[in-house]
Amino acid sequence: MGILNVTPDSFSDGGRYLGAKDAVARADDLAEQGADIIDIGGESTRPGAAPVDADEEIRRVVPVIREIVRRRPKVPVSIDSCKASVADAAMGEGAAMINDISGLRDPAMLDVAARWNAPVVIMHMKGTPQTMQKRPVYRDVVGDIVAFFKERIHLCEKSGIEKIILDPGIGFGKTARHNLEILNRLDEITRLGYPVMVGASRKSFLGKTLGLPVEEREEGTLAAHTIAVMKGAAIIRAHDARKNLRAVRLAESVLKSAKP
């Protein structure tokens, strides 16, 4: 899954693809690099980011989705939003998937996903982007995430949503140590029986672990995502599709070599 932020303030590429023309060109680039899905977001979710109203978010994402769907009909577009009205507008323009960092906590988002029969990414986040990194504490970080997913899966099933992907939310209300533990114990989440998505791309725990600024975290990203695949991740969400695809392919080759 290739990341396309049409925002002025995302932590890694904020402002680079805010214009529709630049955003569509970036989507073309990600597709050429081998991205299977383009994930478009119009609101930054970095720690402390200011919220954006739904109308502004729609204004940012809809023209981009419309043009990408026209130009790249075989590449599914995912809408990265926690607002039901934004997701509904995106699906109306041809988006194929909903990526909700709030884990479908808004009942209206459940209605939108069910009505469009859309695959949904349920992400775990402690708090909100404004509060999530203020001393996050868990009894057992992976156990708590698994319990959250079980509750969300049950709610989705009651709402008629069958296509579910789980994202443990690396960096969303977690310390560096929490994120490392999630990667180490990711197989406990994959045992729930649903595809698991991991997005560690350039995140701060890599910087804290390796002592590196955001522009020097690509090797750490590749290592984290390789570990995730070895632990059972089905989707990798990244800024650099080409490099991550190569790492994923090697990890998959290693896994396949062990099978009879």
Give the per-residue pLDDT at 150.
Answer: 98
Q: Which residues pair with 100 in a beta bridge?
A: 122
The token duo for 199 is: 């997005």
Q: For residue 165, give Cα distances in angstroms to 93, 126, 183, 196, 212.
A: 22, 18, 17, 6, 31
Structural domains in the chain plus CATH codes: 2-255 (3.20.20.20)
Q: Which residues pair with 3 in a beta bridge?
A: 39
Give the per-residue pLDDT at 45.
Answer: 77
Task: List residues with catalytic annotation.
Answer: 203, 237
Give the per-residue pLDDT at 132.
Answer: 63
What are the strands, taking DSSP E only, across 101-228? 120-123, 164-167, 197-198
Contact in structure between 214 and 171 (CB atoms under 8 Å): no
228 contact partners, CB below 8 Å, separation of at least 6: 183, 186, 198, 200, 236
Give the per-residue pLDDT at 185.
Answer: 98
Helix residue ranges, H only, 16-140:
20-33, 54-71, 84-92, 107-116
- Rounded Cα–Cα distance for residues 217 and 206 (Å): 7
**pTM of this prediction?**
0.92
Q: Which residues pair with 4 in a beta bridge?
A: 40
The token duo for 243 is: 């490099």
Give the per-residue pLDDT at 149.
Answer: 98
- Rounded Cα–Cα distance for residues 167 and 172 (Å): 11
Which segments in the chain show pLDDT lower than 50? 9, 11-12, 14
| Buried b or exposed e, range 39-69, using 16+ CB within 10 angstroms | bbbbbbbbbebeebebeebbebbbbbbbbbb
Give the per-residue pLDDT at 16.
Answer: 61
- Phi, psi for residue 26 in degrees, rounded to 5: -65, -40
258 contact partners, CB below 8 Å, separation of at least 6: none
The token duo for 160 is: 């008629």
